[in-house]
Structure 1
């Protein structure tokens, strides 16, 4: 039985621990907080997981909250004009539903499941010195704690990291009482609201410690009018600022907030970080090696909602690499190959996310505008959140975008002509 140590009990660390545990590995999991401390603490993220990532959880039988959490069936985009009017407004339908489950619920539940199934759970904030000691007694050490001292072991990959400073100031509020969008009250959707030159607001249904809720998530350009949350400690002040900015920039979303209140005292979060890709292998003072997991080595800005999805995909990829490796040593060559396998997926997320942080070029604005007239364009953009690799086929290159819009427009026109011919033929036949 191979012994593996996983440091960090987030989406990737816990999913990987539970997956390896089910395969008969001897797993030790280190967390700096207990399950109860996580459950009753502050929100940690704005997770929205799409079909592929959710399927990784189903495959392991750890989708414990799937029947309770709202089923998110669409993803909408709105663009605000200079007078806070809606210039663009549409919603695409997802091929498979998405879900958001507060990580306080999920991580606490998964930690308890891991312990109940016989896993060794160590509550201890690990430092590099601790890993230096533990590495000698484990076949493999994985670091999935994306903050703190341990991350310093993994050098920044400058070639894959175009930004060296935070590109957005982040502010999150979990609320009860948000009204539905009147345009599409029949199904739940994530709403992406773009305010050019200012930032973005994302609204997503979620399942939290007190049941159904919604997340209001501002991403503000640093130094701009949305960058006002740094240093705000009072949750009610955080909510007041959130709603004030909604009223100023996105009145159609503000109209839904007349009855909102925070889900709990821990329902707010603010911060910022530079999106960074790092070297996947960390070297300990004694010479031992550790492998970085998920956002330890690929930390994207949350503007494309990929954090928990990438963590799930990384855990699934690493699980396969570990199991397939059998009883051979987990040396540096294997570690790099395991990361390279994950990077085949992660590179598309990084490219798309970094593109969305920059002002959109003309062909992207044309795509977003056309999605309001051509439902297949809206649907394809929405489903790119599940499969970011598809953006290579129509999103980045102006010529590919123009060809795609021309073909889709022609197909829509032909379908319309066929429908009109059929409707004219019905009275003639009768």
Structure 2
């Protein structure tokens, strides 16, 4: 039986570990926290997973919260006008299944416990490069799925695929209860993308947290701008108050339904920033061994397009297939590079789209967003792109393709 070590207990690491476990591999997972510490800690992310990513969880029997989490049916876009009204406002419907968001504190704690119950070895220990040097000689394959800290430094930045060398957004998250529905679609669960030109974005998404149904309020602020005010805010209630003040100022239509919100718990806020980066997939150890980077260790995009957990799920699925197909052959560096290249076929579209959305929108994109308010097929196609970002290559990025698509819709 082949022995595999997964370092990191996030979406990709645990999904991959559970998948390998179901295929009969002897799997060890290293986590720097216990399941109880994760469940009782601070929120770690925003996340909204669309059909393809959710299906990867179902395929390994790990979609445990599907009946409990809100079923997200659409994705809405609102663009603030100069006077505070909505210059653009529409709702696209997901045509392929539904989306869901489960607080990672719930999911990762539950998956860790399931992994252990199914006979997996769970080691609670923060790993250093020196630890991996030791373990690489004792396992057939070491996978690094811990996207922060010392271990990431083993993976060299891929400058050709990383146009930004500094954070492009300041991030601030609040998990809340008491948010009212959008009055124009009171029965529809949807992710709301509110764009404030020159300032940033507010995302609102239904979620399942440790105490049940909630909503996530997520500001992405252009660094140095009026939303970049959360650094140094330690008190959760001050964090929420600041979030609401900014909503009242920049997205009054969202603030109108948030006047009675409260934090889900004392750990329900998060703030930070990071530079979007693609890294080389093979990490080399001092003793000569090699390890393979997973998900946001090697492709870390800004969360503006909501692809982090989706990409992690797709990476885990791609790596699982590559490992199983490889049989008893050695997991050498050529195999590691080829396995990453297989994932990059999907990930490259996410990176292109995300980096484009971080920049001011060109005229043809503004035309598309405006037209989506008049033509439901455009709104729906934009919403479906969150499940399949590769489709944006066909109509969204290039002015000539956008013009041809608009003409096609108009003629239809």
In which range does the TM-score fall when normalised by the shorter chain? over 0.9
**After the TM superposition, which residues 68-79 of structure 1 pair with which residues of structure 2 at under 5 Å, given as runs?**
68-79=68-79
CA distance in 1: counterparts of 2:309 and 2:90, whole angstroms: 25
Residues 375-414 of structure 1: pairs in structure 2 closer than 5 A? 375-411=376-412
Find the counterpart in structure 2 of residue 7 from structure 1: 7
Classify the secondary structure of the residue corresponding to 1:205: strand
Matches within 5 A, 1:260-279: 260-279=261-280
TM-score, normalised relative to structure 1 = 0.95
Distance (whole Å) between structure 1 residues aligned to residue 60 and residue 74 of structure 2 = 26
* Distance in 1 of aligned mates of 2:27 and 2:20: 7
Map 1:128-143; keep pairs closer than 5 Å. Answer: 128-143=129-144
Residue 258 of structure 1: CA displacement?
A: 1.5
Superposition misfits of 4+ residues, deviation over 4 angstroms = none
Partner of 1:180: 181
CA offset digits 1:45-90 (Å, max 9, x no partner): 1000000000000111110000000000000000001121100000
> Which residue of 2 is the match for residue 47 of structure 1?
47
Which residue of 2 is the match for residue 101 of structure 1? 102
* 1:89 alignment partner, SS class: strand
Tell me the CA shift for residue 186 of structure 1.
1.5
1:176-208 deviations in Å (ceiling 9; x for gaps): 000000011121000000000000000000000
Q: Does 1:214 align with 2:212?
A: no
Residue correspondence of structure 1 range 8-407 to structure 2 within 5 A: 8-95=8-95, 96-407=97-408
User: What SS does the aligned partner of 1:136 have?
Assistant: coil
Partners of 1:258 and 1:201 lie apart in 2 by: 16
Deviation at residue 274 of structure 1 after TM alignment: 0.1
Q: Distance in 2 between matches of 1:311 and 1:372?
A: 32
SS in 2 for 1:70: coil
CA deviation vs aligned residue, 1:223-259 (integer Å, no higher than 9, x gap) = 0000000111100000000000000000000000111
Whole-angstrom distance in 2 between the partners of 1:398 and 1:20: 44
Gaps of 5+ in 2: none
**Separation in 2 of the partners of 1:402 and 1:62?**
42
Report the Cα distance in structure 2 between the residues aligned to 1:186 and 1:260, rounded to whole angstroms.
Answer: 19
Q: Give distance in 2, aligned partners of 1:171 and 1:258.
A: 18
SS of equivalent to 2:91: strand
Q: Deviations over 1:262-311 (max 9, x none)?
A: 00000000000000000000000001000000000000000000000000
Cα offset, 1:153, TM superposition? 0.1
**SS state of the match for residue 405, structure 1?**
helix
- TM-score (normalised: structure 2): 1.00
2:82 and 2:37 map into 1 onto residues whose CA distance is: 44
Q: Partners of 1:83 and 1:157 in 2: how far apart?
A: 42
Larger radius of gyration: 1
The separation in 1 between residues aligned to 2:360 and 2:60, in whole angstroms, is: 40
CA RMSD in angstroms, aligned pairs only? 0.4
Q: Deviation digits for residues 356-395 of structure 1, max 9, x if unmatched?
A: 0000000000000000000000000000000000000000
Distance 2:151 2:191 in 1: 34
Task: Output the CA distance in 2 between the equivalents of 1:318 and 1:123.
Answer: 24
In structure 1, runs of 5+ residues without a counterpart are 412-430
Alpha-carbon separation, structure 2, partners of 1:305 and 1:67: 22
Q: Note the C-alpha offset of 1:163.
A: 0.1
The count of aligned residue pairs is: 411
SS across alignment from 1:171: strand
